[in-house]
């Protein structure tokens, strides 16, 4: 279907190119001019035949036959040196082909109109009230292009009308992408606000834990200020600013909760510092890149878990990333047998750590158990790589 559609568009483009660019001369004063007019007519007849073969239309086919007859009459007059008659017949045939071209183009223009109207309905639902000035400008520009396209179509200039409709469609598509992207940010803001409210409820439920701690009181005050800024930004439609303030308030409250529980955020901050200090120690080969990507993935997952209210899972992922970072320090700069021995020792320590965590993770902690299974699988993979003589990748 797509190939068929492309074929039609190509033929229509040829039709436009061959008939829309060269105006007909007022009168061919020389046999050479009439001969050139006949050659142009032959080309346009061939193009029209190809177009009607792809898009059959009995009425237009009859008009094409009439153009062929006019061409034959023009050629006969030319042979008899009746150049004025030949010129008139050839131009009549060319005008007829112009009409065929316009009728062929009218169908694609109608499809563009339908596409434009579908997109316009979507835009008029989403743009008003979005607060996005750029989207409003794009919508107005699209309507302006569509008005121009309609005026051109009413004058029979269908190829120019199609170009204007395509421009309007592009503007609407850009507008909708922008608004829908903003809608996704609004959803993120709503989720961040709800997450923050859950944490605020937790803090209010146990004030005795930090009521006497000046540092804790400072964190509570800072979180309240960030939350207030987030509410003001959200009310003004500044979604990204609101998201930033809500997330900042969330991190402050997690820091507060860490003072009475597992220090998840502190662990993650230490991990970030360690990653910055070890970045240059990562080997430049493929194995080093893969290892660093794994560490970054664990770090990102840890922060996401923390912001999602799962500090225990965040700590586990951060510690696993830290172990991988320490393996970089342990193996960096070594060659041959020394590296193999070091990796072997690290692998033994790794297995011991996995066994130790197995005893610590509760049976009903499904996420923790899943992480341990993955850790054990990575250990087995490292062992196989070591046995194959690939200690750096191990």
Could you read off the pLDDT tens digit of each residue along the chain, which spans 394 residues?
445 445 554 445 544 444 443 444 444 446 677 788 888 888 888 877 776 675 667 887 888 888 889 889 988 888 888 888 888 888 888 888 888 777 766 667 778 888 888 888 888 877 776 667 888 888 999 999 999 988 877 676 767 878 888 899 999 998 888 877 766 677 778 888 888 888 888 777 766 556 666 777 788 888 899 999 999 988 888 888 888 899 888 888 877 776 655 567 777 778 887 887 777 777 777 777 788 888 888 888 888 777 666 777 888 888 888 888 777 654 444 444 556 677 777 777 777 777 777 776 666 666 667 777 777 787 787 777 777 666 666 6
Domain of 244, in residue numbers:
185-258
Please say which residue of 210, 238, 258 terminates a domain: 258
C-beta atoms surrounding 176 within 10 Å: 18
Whole-number pLDDT of residue 129: 63
User: For residue 208, what is the DSSP state?
Assistant: G
Q: How many angstroms separate the CA atoms of 320 and 206, rounded? A: 31
Contact yes or no for 174/138 (Cβ under 8 A): yes
Q: Are 240 and 336 found together in one domain?
A: no
Q: Are 22 and 61 found together in one domain?
A: yes
Q: Are 191 and 296 found together in one domain?
A: no
Count of domains for the chain: 3
Q: Are 246 and 220 found together in one domain?
A: yes
Residue 290 lies inside a defined structural domain of this protein:
yes
Burial of 139 per CB tally in 10 Å (0-12, 13-18, 19+): buried
Whole-number pLDDT of residue 209: 59
Q: How many angstroms separate the CA atoms of 245 and 234, rounded? A: 10
Whole-number pLDDT of residue 22: 43
Q: Are 269 and 229 found together in one domain?
A: no
Q: How many angstroms separate the CA atoms of 129 and 121, rounded? A: 15
Whole-number pLDDT of residue 368: 67
Please say which residue of 126, 144, 175 terminates a domain: 126
DSSP-assigned letters across all residues of 38-103: HHHHHHHHHHHHHHHHHS--HHHHHHHHHHHHHHHHHHHHHHTT-HHHHHHHHHHHHHHHHHHHHH
CA pseudo-torsion sign 250, 252, 258, 262 = positive
Q: Are 335 and 238 found together in one domain?
A: no
Q: Are 325 and 229 found together in one domain?
A: no
Q: How many angstroms separate the CA atoms of 321 and 197, rounded? A: 30
- Planar angle of CA 334, 339, 342, nearest 5 degrees: 115
Residue 393 lies inside a defined structural domain of this protein:
no
Residue 149 lies inside a defined structural domain of this protein:
no
Give the CA distances from residue 168 to residues 86, 115, 123, 163, in Å, rounded to whole numbers and listed in that order: 43, 10, 12, 9
Whole-number pLDDT of residue 334: 42
Residue 153 lies inside a defined structural domain of this protein:
no
Residue 287 lies inside a defined structural domain of this protein:
yes
Q: Are 206 and 246 found together in one domain?
A: yes
Q: How many angstroms separate the CA atoms of 178 and 144, rounded? A: 19
Whole-number pLDDT of residue 144: 92
Please say which residue of 126, 143, 166 terminates a domain: 126
Residue 227 lies inside a defined structural domain of this protein:
yes
Contact yes or no for 246/227 (Cβ under 8 A): yes
Read off the pTM: 0.34
Q: How many angstroms separate the CA atoms of 25 and 18, rounded? A: 15
Q: Are 232 and 306 found together in one domain?
A: no
Q: Are 333 and 350 found together in one domain?
A: yes
Q: Are 235 and 278 found together in one domain?
A: no
Residue 328 lies inside a defined structural domain of this protein:
yes
Q: Are 309 and 225 found together in one domain?
A: no
Q: How many angstroms separate the CA atoms of 226 and 245, rounded? A: 5
Structure token pair of residue 365: 């902690």
């Amino acid at each position: 279907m797509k190939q068929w559609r492309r074929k039609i568009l190509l033929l229509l483009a040829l039709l436009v190119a061959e008939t829309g660019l060269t105006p007909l001369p007022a009168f061919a004063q020389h046999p050479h001019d009439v001969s050139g007019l006949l050659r142009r007519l032959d080309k346009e007849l061939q193009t029209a035949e190809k177009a009607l073969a792809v898009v059959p239309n009995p009425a237009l086919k009859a008009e094409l036959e009439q153009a062929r007859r006019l061409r034959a009459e023009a050629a006969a007059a030319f042979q008899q040196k009746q150049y004025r008659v030949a010129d008139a017949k050839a131009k009549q045939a060319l005008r007829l082909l112009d009409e065929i071209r316009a009728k062929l183009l009218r169908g694609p223009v109608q499809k563009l109109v339908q596409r434009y109207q579908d997109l316009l309905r979507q835009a008029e639902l989403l743009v008003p009230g979005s607060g996005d000035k750029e989207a409003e400008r794009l919508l107005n520009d699209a309507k302006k292009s569509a008005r121009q396209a309609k005026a051109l179509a009413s004058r029979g200039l269908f190829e120019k009308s199609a170009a204007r409709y395509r421009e309007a469609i592009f503007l609407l598509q850009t507008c909708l992408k922008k608004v829908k992207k903003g809608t996704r940010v609004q959803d993120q803001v709503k989720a961040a606000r709800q997450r923050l409210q859950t944490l605020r409820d937790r803090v209010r439920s146990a004030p005795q834990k930090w009521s006497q701690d000046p540092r804790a009181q400072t964190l509570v005050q800072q979180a309240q200020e960030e939350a207030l800024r987030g509410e003001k930004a959200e009310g003004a439609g500044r979604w990204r600013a609101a998201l930033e303030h809500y997330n900042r308030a969330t991190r402050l409250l997690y820091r507060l909760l860490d003072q009475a529980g597992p220090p998840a955020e502190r662990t993650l901050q230490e991990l970030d510092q360690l990653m910055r200090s070890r970045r240059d120690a990562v080997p430049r080969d493929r194995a080093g890149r893969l290892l660093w990507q794994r560490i970054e993935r664990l770090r990102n997952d840890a922060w996401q878990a923390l912001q999602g209210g799962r500090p225990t899972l965040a700590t586990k992922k951060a510690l696993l990333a830290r172990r991988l970072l320490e393996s970089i320090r342990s193996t960096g700069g070594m060659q041959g047998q020394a590296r193999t021995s070091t990796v072997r020792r690290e692998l033994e320590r790794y297995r011991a750590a996995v066994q130790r965590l197995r005893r610590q993770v509760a049976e009903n902690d499904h996420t923790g158990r899943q992480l341990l299974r993955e850790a054990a699988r990575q250990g087995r993979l490292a062992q196989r790589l070591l046995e194959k003589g690939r200690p750096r990748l191990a």
